[in-house]
């Protein structure tokens, strides 16, 4: 932000490349500088990095949830197996009598 009454100043990120200009004999007689505005590219990189971090966090939450669900399914399966075995053994005993 600029000061009141002054034009707004925005920070920009630049990538610069410096190249020498040589005569055919190889002597440097000048230089050229090419600058590119990479502000948007850097902002996009930052956004991608932030989104990847959020995705990794969500994956960790899902992995923990999957482990808890697997543990629940194991316990539920075991708890349901016991009454079934009792019913089967009772039915089997009644049939034999």
pLDDT tens track for 22-33: 999 999 999 999
Residue 3 pLDDT greater than 90, yes or no: no
- Confidence band of 5 (pLDDT split at 50, 70, 90): low
Assigned token pair, 7 = 């034009």
Pair 57, 44: CB distance under 8 Å: no
Of 58, 80, 52, the C-alpha closest to 66 is 58
Assigned token pair, 66 = 């999957």
Taking only the tens place, the pLDDT of each residue in 36-86 is 999 999 999 999 999 999 999 999 999 999 999 999 999 888 877 777 777
Q: Considering Cα of 76, then 81, then 86, then 87, what sign does the dihedral take? A: positive
Assigned token pair, 10 = 């925005």
């Amino acid at each position: 932000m600029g000061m009141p009454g002054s034009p707004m100043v925005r920070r920009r990120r630049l990538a610069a490349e410096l190249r020498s200009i040589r005569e055919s004999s190889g002597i440097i007689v000048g230089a050229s500088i090419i600058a590119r505005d990479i502000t948007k590219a850097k902002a996009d990189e930052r956004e991608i990095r932030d989104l990847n971090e959020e995705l990794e966090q969500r994956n960790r939450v899902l992995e923990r949830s999957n482990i808890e669900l697997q543990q629940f399914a194991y316990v539920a399966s075991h708890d349901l197996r016991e009454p079934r075995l009792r019913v089967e053994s009772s039915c089997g005993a009644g049939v034999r009598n």
